[in-house]
């Protein structure tokens, strides 16, 4: 049931959404409400409590530095006041960030590592590229992300200005799409940038089968699901050097990606070339990446949530 099929554009539209959500809570009388993202938490928790919901589980899957100041204040107030029965945090790096909150907030927090679905499929590279309409005989980079300035997909495009023999396919949609297309034209690389749009789970398997290297220049994450999925599929992966990605993209100390400052285009491009030029590096990354499913199994995450529902 959708309380609003598009983002409200006026205060009246927002009130309609809130009322529809409240009515849905009252009519369905759920035992548990699970909310996601900072605005999802701020909207759902008070309405669910007002509607008499027994258990409210908030999920902090927004990087704290990108949550607006007033939203952070409101979230802290709700957490300290007991509107959230539990606050789930999905990685050790994010856990360290939320350790700065007041004790009355932290007592509701617990960590459940993000499990993920293996999206890799058994499909040869030529067939995968044919299915997506991609060039067959090129070195192909891939980037999967919400097209938003925070994801800095423009830095992935800039790699092509240095690595002039490579192409890039971008999976995702969002408000930054037109700017990214314009940037590719301005840089003179638009003939080597391919926008695949939003892909289903099955099509993401095709996407991963089609690429030679996955690159991820995002400036902030709470987990980094896209590069984890790519590395687990055995794709050599190059990511922006931030702590959360160093945390999740390793298995027993073995790195599953190359880490580099993505804002340094020359360095980022050099790291990508290293994957193509050094077979031992590429094989080592692929081998350790395939073990990520052991570290972040989907079933363990589900089981941990089910335990919360029994409180």
**pLDDT tens column, 162-212:** 999 999 999 999 999 999 999 999 999 999 999 999 998 889 999 999 999
Domain that holds residue 89: 11-115+298-309
- Examine residue 120 and state whether it is found in any structural domain, yes or no: no
Residue 274 sits in the same domain as residue 157: yes
Residue 248 sits in the same domain as residue 142: yes
pLDDT of residue 272: 97
| pLDDT > 70 in the chain, percent | 100
pLDDT of residue 66: 78
Q: Which of 280, 278, 274, 277 minimizes the C-alpha distance to 259?
A: 274
Residue 98 sits in the same domain as residue 135: no
Residue 27 sits in the same domain as residue 93: yes
Residue 271 sits in the same domain as residue 257: yes
Q: What average pLDDT does the chain have?
A: 93
Q: Which two tokens stand for residue 206?
A: 């095709």
pLDDT tens readout for residues 213-235: 999 999 888 888 999 999 999 99
pLDDT of residue 310: 79
- Examine residue 142 and state whether it is found in any structural domain, yes or no: yes
* pLDDT of 77 above 90: yes
Cα separation of 264 and 238, whole Å?
13
Residue 157 sits in the same domain as residue 236: yes
* pLDDT of 311 above 70: no
* pLDDT of 65 above 80: no
pLDDT of residue 67: 86
**What would the mean pLDDT of 237-257 be, rounded to a whole number?**
94
Strands, E, within the chain: which ranges?
Answer: 32-36, 55-60, 86-89, 109-111, 139-144, 166-171, 193-197, 213-216, 237-240, 250-251, 254-255, 258-260
Q: How many domains does the chain have?
A: 2
Cα separation of 249 and 232, whole Å?
10
- Examine residue 249 and state whether it is found in any structural domain, yes or no: yes
Residue 303 sits in the same domain as residue 264: no
pLDDT of residue 62: 79
pLDDT of residue 240: 97
**Global confidence as pTM:** 0.85
**What would the mean pLDDT of 272-299 be, rounded to a whole number?**
94
CATH value at residue 168? 3.40.50.2000
pLDDT of residue 286: 95
State the pLDDT confidence band at 134, using cuts at 50, 70 and 90. Answer: very high
Strand pairing of 166-171 and 139-144?
parallel
């Amino acid at each position: 049931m959708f309380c609003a099929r598009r983002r409200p554009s006026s205060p009246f539209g927002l009130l309609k959404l809130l009322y529809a959500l409240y009515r849905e809570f009252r009519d369905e009388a759920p035992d548990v409400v699970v909310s996601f993202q900072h605005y999802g938490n701020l909207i759902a928790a008070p309405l669910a409590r007002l509607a008499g919901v027994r258990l409210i589980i908030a999920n902090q899957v927004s990087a704290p530095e990108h949550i607006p100041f007033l939203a952070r204040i409101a979230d802290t107030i709700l957490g300290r006041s007991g509107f959230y029965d539990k606050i789930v945090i999905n990685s050790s790096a994010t856990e360290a960030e939320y350790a700065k909150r007041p004790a009355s907030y932290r007592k509701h927090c617990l960590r459940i590592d993000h499990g993920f679905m293996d999206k890799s499929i058994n499909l040869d590279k030529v067939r995968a590229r044919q299915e997506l309409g991609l060039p067959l005989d090129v070195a192909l980079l891939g980037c999967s992300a919400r097209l938003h300035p925070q994801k800095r997909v423009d830095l992935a495009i800039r790699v092509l200005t240095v690595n002039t023999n490579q192409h890039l396919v971008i999976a995702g949609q969002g408000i930054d799409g037109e700017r990214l297309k314009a940037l590719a034209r301005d840089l003179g690389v638009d003939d080597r940038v391919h926008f695949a749009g939003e892909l289903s789970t099955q099509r993401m398997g095709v996407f991963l089968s089609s690429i030679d290297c996955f690159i991820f220049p995002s400036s902030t994450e709470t987990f980094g699901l896209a590069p984890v999925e790519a590395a687990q599929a055995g794709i050599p992966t190059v990511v922006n050097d931030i702590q959360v990605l160093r945390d999740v993209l390793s298995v027993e100390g073995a790195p599953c990606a190359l880490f580099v400052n993505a804002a340094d285009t020359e360095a980022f491009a050099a790291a990508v070339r290293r994957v193509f030029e050094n077979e031992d590096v590429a094989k080592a990354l692929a081998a350790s990446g395939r073990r990520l499913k052991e570290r972040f199994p989907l079933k363990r995450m589900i089981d941990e949530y089910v335990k919360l529902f029994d409180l």
